[in-house]
Amino acid sequence: MTDTRRRVKVYTLNEDRQWDDRGTGHVSSGYVERLKGMSLLVRAESDGSLLLESKINPNTAYQKQQDTLIVWSEAENYDLALSFQEKAGCDEIWEKICQVQGKDPSVDITQDLVDESEEERFDDMSSPGLELPSCELSRLEEIAELVASSLPSPLRREKLALALENEGYIKKLLELFHVCEDLENIEGLHHLYEIIKGIFLLNRTALFEVMFSEECIMDVIGCLEYDPALSQPRKHREFLTKTAKFKEVIPISDPELKQKIHQTYRVQYIQDMVLPTPSVFEENMLSTLHSFIFFNKVEIVGMLQEDEKFLTDLFAQLTDEATDEEKRQELVNFLKEFCAFSQTLQPQNRDAFFKTLSNMGILPALEVILGMDDTQVRSAATDIFSYLVEYNPSMVREFVMQEAQQNDDDILLINLIIEHMICDTDPELGGAVQLMGLLRTLVDPENMLATANKTEKTEFLGFFYKHCMHVLTAPLLANTTEEKPSKDDFQTAQLLALVLELLTFCVEHHTYHIKNYIINKDILRRVLVLMASKHAFLALCALRFKRKIIGLKDEFYNRYIMKSFLFEPVVKAFLNNGSRYNLMNSAIIEMFEFIRVEDIKSLTAHVIENYWKALEDVDYVQTFKGLKLRFEQQRERQDNPKLDSMRSILRNHRYRRDARTLEDEEEMWFNTDEDDIEDGEAVVSPSDKTKNDDDIMDPISKFMERKKCMLKRWARKKEGVLTLVKESEEKEVLLKTNLSGRQSPSFKLSLSSGTKTNLTSQSSATNLPGSPGSPGSPGSPGSPGSVPKNTSQTAAITTKGGLVGLVDYPDDDEDDDEDEDKEDTLPLSKKAKFES
């Protein structure tokens, strides 16, 4: 069998019973070795990739619908469809499917569904077909019972559908409908309702094509008016013929397109209004009806999109000043419905649809429409604009930046949108909320593109802050000229809350653009005026705006806040709120708690220096006392910068030391031949003779930390011969700390023995093993982890009997007498070595 290639779209049915477009390609049929059978193959027309490879199973039920569709199921929840561009291609592939299954190509379905029991299947197969009663008035009840009894069985449903098709039975039933109506035979009309409803549940495309034809559809709707559950019939036909009017705003020359529009509207009406809400068991029985409407809409959009004359006339009349208001409203409503239809399209088709509208000039047309006074027209134009922004915000941004080069700021499209948001007359501001969402999408950097030549974010935000931001903030600035809002009614408060929400979004997602604008225009001061509003939601919006700024921890913002004393409105609102435990109270406390936890020093100092007296009595939370403590610690560090640097040294060197390096140095110290070190001698390298107080603290602190580790390791190695120095004795390096965290710069190293000898000359200093200046010690300038430094300050080293070294600084003389009485015990072997 030769392969035949035809252009098709591949669809799959998703969980929401909607068709998803999987791509466009060319279909062929051929033998596939891997599947061991004849298969349908669809290769993408773009890159030749395989979109579909489906074996034609002998038992799969394939359906041909509307002459250009083939639908089948490959699994219980996996439906596929091929939509052909040409009827000839559909017929050819259908013939191949029927040839594989041994079926007559004239049928529209190749297989009977076999979900029944074996016994029922045997009984049904034994009969050649289903014989329908003659279509007579007296036998309507019998026909209704036959239809109802066939619905539970898929096989019987299929046979009933074939019988209805082959005998032209539906048209005969509709003739009886006219007879019953003329005779006012209510019982017969009730039977016809049950029969037509049952035919819908057969879920058969061929039957739908008959029922939805121009000559039959109104009679079908008439049958469905006589629901036995209702005391009076519905008047659906009256609504469709008299109330619902088809307005051809632009003449449609294609009769097929016009007929398709009428048919789709009526079928949609049947689905939504006429048919009763299907039960859980009946819902899947109407899947073909959903598909019928879906593919009709796809065809309508495609046919309109290809009719260039139609679209050209549409946009020409939309923008023509001579077009009267009523006509323009009809044109806008048509365009809105046209865009709504496009939402049923798959992404690829929708992309082509909006590109066509863009090329036709939809954005300039919307700009003209939005400038009009008619509220209904503007509302419809806003809906159209929302479709465009949601589809492709970059396209809208590119248009507004181009028009800015030719037009004034007042008539720019985005400024028109902002003005409509500000001037929304709806008390609930429904339109303003929608427009604010669109503006937020347009200024969101997350959906902006970056190319090699340009960055959309930089260009568009520069444009927006130059041409549009002043329009957005105009109501805010106009209402905050005094210490309280000029207008504080509910609608104004809602509008300002929307503006603040967008500004807060800008603070979070934009960088220097919004920062420059806020600081240069003093926006935060104006926003904080709204803290005095009687509407709590607006005051909270203002507070949230400031909280977002503080959360950035940007010193430019912080200096601006301090310079303008912008905590004053917040503190005033906090005090006015009193002891009430509400959202305002919690939000303000949370802001100050954030400053305390994040240790924002500049803001902490500013708050305590200026507002401490107002806040010191707040004791039900510890936030403000904690801020005061932070402030005092900062002051102490400023008064004595040595302590702050010492903390930094200890943090960086004592606690972040590489453990492996420490162990190597400990081994080197313990392996040093003790005989090489003479008692009472300390070696100080020449480069260390000029160290000042700050620099000498570093090696001493390192030395004492390592000394502890060395003693412990050494004690373990001697297996109990030596004892560790007690914990209290090991802590002779004293870091004097007061309650506020201040540290004394005095570090004392003390080892005791019998005889006391003071040596203040560095040239004769004792060489202690592991001392900071010894060549082999970890703290020496040449050892790993040490930092050589040149200073001019002289340190005094005091040894007691060769065993005690005391490092003093010039301001520690008053402590010497006290320390001379303290003795520490060394491990025995070391002590003996020093005393020998």
Helix spans in 270-324 (H)? 287-306, 308-319
Q: In the structure, what pLDDT confidence band is assigned to residue 598 with cuts at 50, 70 and 90?
A: very high
Q: In the structure, what pLDDT confidence band is assigned to residue 487 with cuts at 50, 70 and 90?
A: very high
Token pair for residue 541?
């919006």
Which among 302, 298, 301, 234 is positioned nearest to 269, based on CA atoms?
A: 234
E strand or H helix that includes residue 21: strand 19-32
Q: In the structure, what pLDDT confidence band is assigned to residue 320 with cuts at 50, 70 and 90?
A: confident
What's the rounded Cα separation, in Å, for the pair 679 and 685?
Answer: 18
Contact in structure between 478 and 486 (CB atoms under 8 Å)? yes
How many CB atoms within 10 Å of residue 49?
10
Q: Mean per-residue pLDDT for 600-621?
A: 93
Sequence letter at residue 758: N
Q: In the structure, what pLDDT confidence band is assigned to residue 759 with cuts at 50, 70 and 90?
A: very low
Token pair for residue 436?
């604010």
The answer on pLDDT for 113 being more than 80 is no
Contact in structure between 689 and 763 (CB atoms under 8 Å)? no
Q: Mean per-residue pLDDT for 248-270?
A: 89
Q: In the structure, what pLDDT confidence band is assigned to residue 95 with cuts at 50, 70 and 90?
A: confident
Question: What pLDDT digit, counting tens, does each position of 521-578 carry?
Answer: 999 999 999 999 999 999 999 999 999 999 999 999 999 999 999 999 999 999 999 8
- Give phi and psi for 745, each to the nearest 5: -80, 10
Maximum mean pLDDT: which of 121-130, 320-329, 525-534, 813-822: 525-534
In DSSP terms, 767 is beta-bridged to 681
- The whole-number pLDDT of residue 758 equals 37
Mean per-residue pLDDT of the chain = 76
User: What angle is formed at CA 343 by the lines to CA 338 and CA 348, rounded to 5 degrees?
Assistant: 110
The answer on pLDDT for 750 being more than 90 is no
Question: What pLDDT digit, counting tens, does each position of 696-719 carry?
Answer: 455 555 556 665 666 566 555 544
Q: Is the dihedral of CA 507, 512, 517, 520 positive or negative?
A: positive
Which among 433, 452, 436, 434 is positioned nearest to 444, based on CA atoms?
A: 436
- List Cβ<8 Å contacts ≥24 apart for 610-619: 610/565, 610/567, 610/568, 611/567, 611/568, 611/571, 614/571, 614/575, 615/571
- The whole-number pLDDT of residue 603 equals 95
What's the rounded Cα separation, in Å, for the pair 684 and 794?
Answer: 12
Which among 160, 137, 134, 165 is positioned nearest to 149, based on CA atoms?
A: 160
Higher per-residue pLDDT: 410 or 670: 410
Task: Indicate the range of 375-384, 438-447, 501-510 predicted with least confidence.
Answer: 375-384
Token pair for residue 306?
């290809």
Question: What pLDDT digit, counting tens, does each position of 499-515 carry?
Answer: 999 999 999 999 889 99
Q: Is 47 exposed, middle or buried (0-12, 13-18, 19+ CB in 10 A)?
A: exposed
Q: Is the dihedral of CA 534, 538, 540, 545 positive or negative?
A: negative
What are the chain's domains?
Answer: 4-113 (2.30.29.30)
- The whole-number pLDDT of residue 283 equals 53
166, HSE (Cβ side, Cα atoms, 13 Å): 13
Q: Mean per-residue pLDDT for 776-793?
A: 38
The pLDDT > 70 percentage for the chain reads 71
Contact in structure between 141 and 185 (CB atoms under 8 Å)? no
- The whole-number pLDDT of residue 36 equals 79
Q: In the structure, what pLDDT confidence band is assigned to residue 637 with cuts at 50, 70 and 90?
A: confident
- The whole-number pLDDT of residue 745 equals 34
Q: Is 481 exposed, middle or buried (0-12, 13-18, 19+ CB in 10 A)?
A: exposed
Q: Is 726 exposed, middle or buried (0-12, 13-18, 19+ CB in 10 A)?
A: exposed
115-135 burial: b if 16+ Cβ within 10 Å, else e: ebeeeeeeebeeeeebebeeb
575 Cα distance to chain centroid: 38
Q: Mean per-residue pLDDT for 227-249?
A: 88
